[in-house]
Chain A
């Protein structure tokens, strides 16, 4: 092996080593983050319909039903929000411990006023939140929400594919369980009640 080849081999080895260390560190970081956040959820600072900032800390002490959607949504979001409203009615006194939170994935169209009017049409109990795009991107990533905007139809109308899962979060802010978003109100109420245990009054 010529000295020139030795240098090349060494350079290649160093390159592979850097890649391995980098990948290991990245994996370690991912695991660490996941452990810290309990997998799903995390800190956020969003805006309510009155224009006030609402953070995850402001919502501690109650169970949360976190659902991501958008107000232009013609079929699935109204269906899910109708079921959430119906489920809360069925929960009776237990509903006092549960706060449904609707977070838009389409802040460009969904201003605080728009999300507020939208959620209120289903139930005055639903807290609607929006925010600047980076704040929405952050909370969507924390909840591992998939968002894909479809092409504009030329008139400013577009639909958005999005994760359709309701996240049940505990009073301490930790993720408890996913609740199916395509269930009728009765099944959803049973599903939620099963996790409330100690909260029954």
Chain B
């Protein structure tokens, strides 16, 4: 009897913790991508990330539409546009981190299908602590400069 109660109590104590671990703690907002211009075989995804009560880290990205998806950063070095791979992106608790043109981006290469303007595709983000989050990325015009750009 005592043993059973103990088990129940232990299970009850575990429940909130398990629920918290399952709840997505990182909010992913306003994803968007430019339609590759012309016969383009690459593009970039931009979005914003917000970790909840505890800090987290973006450690991977994946999408079925591209041969390769990776976290990348464009930077200017004495007037030269360069890109580098970013191993992971720290997400401080309660802070919004935004990926936008000319800086941090999720680079997609080896596109397996034409990403047409007006369409969308799924993108999955993997985090060090939170469970993965899959978002639908709308494809905007090649000349779009932000998620709000109409059409």
Q: Decide yes or no whether A197 CB sits under 8 A from chain B.
A: no
Interface segment, B3-11, B86-94, B127-135, B140-148?
A: B140-148
Tell me, yes or no, whether B1 is within 8 Å of chain A by CB.
no
Return chain B residues, CB-CB under 8 Å to A118: 37-40
Once the chains bind, are B44 and A75 in contact (CB under 8 Å)? Answer: yes
Does chain B have a CB within 8 A of A94?
no
Ordered by A's residue number, 19 sampled pairs between the chains whose C-beta atoms are within 8 Å are A71-B37, A71-B39, A72-B41, A73-B42, A78-B101, A79-B101, A79-B102, A82-B142, A114-B39, A115-B38, A118-B39, A120-B38, A121-B142, A153-B109, A155-B110, A157-B67, A161-B82, A164-B80, A164-B81
Of B17-25, B54-62, B71-79, which binds chain A?
A: B71-79
Q: Inside 8 A of A74's CB, which chain B residues have their CB?
A: 42-44, 72, 105, 107-109
Contact yes or no, A75 B40, CB < 8 A: no
Given A155-B67, A164-B81, are A75 and B74 neighbors across the interface (CB < 8 Å)?
yes
Are A75 and B142 in touch, CB under 8 angstroms? Answer: no
Q: Is there contact, CB below 8 Å, between B145 and A161?
A: no
Q: Which A residues are CB-close (under 8 A) to B34?
A: 78
Q: Mark A104-127, 1 if CB is under 8 A from B, else 0.
A: 000000000011111111110000
Q: Does B83 contact A (CB under 8 A)?
A: yes
Q: Which of B's residues lie within 8 Å of A, judged by CB?
A: 34-35, 37-44, 67-68, 72, 74, 76, 79-83, 101-102, 105, 107-110, 141-145
Task: For B41, list chain A residues within 8 Å (CB).
Answer: 72, 157
| A82 and B145 within 8 A (CB) | yes
User: Contacts A74-B105, A114-B38, A157-B42 known; A163 to B81 CB distance under 8 Å?
Assistant: yes
Chain A 64-81 interface mask (CB, 8 Å, partner B; 1/0): 000000011111111101
Give the chain B neighbours of A120 by CB distance below 8 A.
38
Q: How far is the CB of B110 from chain A (nearest CB, A)?
A: 6
Q: Which of A76, A123, A163 contacts B143 (CB 8 A)?
A: A123
Task: Specify which chain B residues have a CB less than 8 angstroms from the CB of A161 in the assembled complex.
Answer: 80-83
Whole-angstrom distance from the CB of B61 to the nearest CB of chain A?
14
CB-CB under 8 A from B74, the residues of chain A are 75-76
B interface majority secondary structure? strand
Q: Which residues of A contact B83 (CB under 8 A)?
A: 75-76, 159, 161
Knowing that A75-B83, A157-B67 are A-B contacts, what are 18 other residue pairs whose CB atoms are under 8 Å apart, sorted by A's residue number? A74-B42, A74-B109, A75-B107, A76-B102, A78-B101, A78-B142, A82-B143, A86-B143, A114-B39, A116-B38, A118-B40, A119-B37, A121-B142, A146-B80, A157-B68, A157-B110, A161-B82, A164-B79
Distance to closest chain B CB from A125 (angstroms) = 12
Which of chain A's residues has its CB closest to B144's CB? A82
A106 smallest CB distance to B (angstroms): 12
List chain A residues, Cβ under 8 A from B67: 155, 157
Give the contacting residue for B142; candidates A86, A122, A153, A182; CB below 8 A. A122
Candidates B39, B40, B81, B108; contact of A76 at CB < 8 Å? B81
Top 9 A-B pairs ranked by shortest CB distance? Answer: A117-B38, A121-B37, A164-B81, A118-B38, A79-B101, A121-B142, A74-B42, A76-B81, A82-B143
Which partner residue on chain A sits nearest B40 by CB separation?
A71
Q: Looking at the complex, which one of B38, B80, B102, B108 makes contact with A163 (CB distance below 8 Å)?
A: B80
